[in-house]
A and B are shown apart, each in its own frame.
Chain A
Amino acid sequence: MNDALNAIDNQLRVLSAVTFREAKARLGLNFVGVWTEFGRLSIAIGIFSVIRYFTGSGIHRGMEIIPFIATGVLMFWMFRRTLLFVSMTSMSAERYAFFPQVTMLDIALGRGVVNIVLYVVLSFATFGVFIIAGVSGPIYRPAYVAMLLIVSGFYGLFGGIIFNALFARVKILRPVLQVGLRILMLTSGVFFVIPEIPYSLHGFALWNPLLHLNDIMRQEYFGKYSADYADFGYAMRWLIGLALFALIFERAARKRKDVG
């Protein structure tokens, strides 16, 4: 029993230390990393909102266009950035070479947690700015919005662990992932809600769990849209599946000792 408690204590200590180091490396001196990320997000939200405003209207199915686009962009960016950061874990593993107690999984989890926390903070800061500027009403259910963002982040974390393992063996997958993420962005409901998809395509479109999350996000943010087609249970089943596959891939990718 004591051994188990010591092991848990050691693991938590390593995780907190790695998370601290990753946070410092990610945020940079004087929070330069936060401002860079904030600028990047602002540009994306600004450009997409302007496009939507001039091609459609300021109100989308009763939802103000700027927060409508922002919720989609933040949800997808949370997934995308976490996935990309975690999938590059093996590239920075050399930095931890002198600390053998730190495993690849620790670094991946540390990176994931840092990115998720950063994006939750950035998202709520963005929503706050919208509310103060009068382009958005108050958030209908903030706790649910935070939870949905975190779920999206965990998709990115587990997906990142899987791709980190795959990249170690199949380098060509890196550009393939970039293309895949662009396709995913266009099909995940960043710019639309499920009822706008032609009914005949629902069977194809609804496999994407991010589409479900985005739809529920609009429901929880605005309170005047009902995500009737979205299924939170389906999104959670994906989360559990991704977590299991991530653990399997991480284990399979660990360096093995050759038997001589």
Chain B
Amino acid sequence: MASPVQKMPERIIGFDGVSVRYYDRGRIMTALHDVNFAITPGQSVAILGTKGSGKSTLVRLLCNIEKPLVGRVVHHNMTVSWPVWARTGLIRSMTARDNIRFTAQLYGRSAPDIIRRVDDFAHLGAKMDVLLGDLPSSTMAKVMFATAAALDFDCYPIDDWLATHDHEFRRRAEDTLQSLRQHSTLVLATSRTNFVRTYCDVAYVLHRGVLTHHDTIDEAIRYYRGCAASSEAAEDTEATEAGY
């Protein structure tokens, strides 16, 4: 396949022949195999994949948290946020306010403005000055999401959908994502097809580390369901062989 980043447009994020392998319990596992694709501004891209298909690895590469073993990930004039629903990344021994201040400072933005925007969104109130470690872990996810939205990145990678019982926050988050979609790029790595139909206009399927592009969302979902069924069958066979 031709490299998607050979003729580089003004703004692009590209995966060029990216492979990632892990050494896990005495075996070499291939998380991604020769992945090539490009994301341009304004797209909402779905990466459909079952558990263990390599979605999280792909998102981590996209966010520059990890480096590929082979190939390259190019960020050309596009800023990328951290994985949007992350429940890690902030320091628990610091208050939410100080964590946000650090992030704003890192990106050269006005800290009071970002703190205000996060508070408007997450409604932390007095909890803003409580140590994050003393708050529920969902607070970290809320702060990370609200800070990312306030910093106006060009691209927002989402590693699976938010699982929360806070319906009010979920509604606000979904509204925010819809508005981010208007001016930013979303990359949604998920196994849930209903979100793909709602939020995405381009779809890929990631199966056993191999990424395939599909012309329509429906075609991608059909292919994904076939992959999911074959993964389940393979898991059943493994379990039978293991004597469970």
Contact = CB atoms under 8 A, between A and B. Distances in A.
B220 to A, nearest CB: 29
B143 to A, nearest CB: 12
Interface string A91-128: 00001011111100000000000000000000000000
A141 interface: no
A253 B28 CA distance: 24
Contacts of B106: 13-14, 17-18, 99, 101-102
B94 A21 contact: yes
Contact of A29 (B65, B102, B108, B131): B131
Contacts of B112: none
Interface residues of A, number: 24
A98 B88 contact: yes
Given A25-B93, A100-B64, A20 B69 contact: no
A50 B237 CA distance: 74
B86 interface: yes
Contact of B102 (A17, A28, A97, A259): A17
Interface string B67-95: 11110000000000011001011010111
A29 B133 CA distance: 12
B69 A25 contact: no
B91 A95 contact: yes
Contacts of A20: 98, 101-102, 105
B67 A260 contact: no
A25 B94 contact: yes
A196 interface: no
B89 A97 contact: yes
B67 A21 contact: no
A169 interface: no
A40 interface: no
A20 B102 CA distance: 7
Interface of B: 19, 63-65, 67-70, 82-83, 86, 88-89, 91, 93-95, 98, 101-103, 105-106, 108, 131
12 contacts: A16-B105, A17-B102, A17-B105, A21-B91, A97-B65, A97-B88, A97-B89, A98-B86, A99-B103, A100-B63, A257-B68, A260-B19
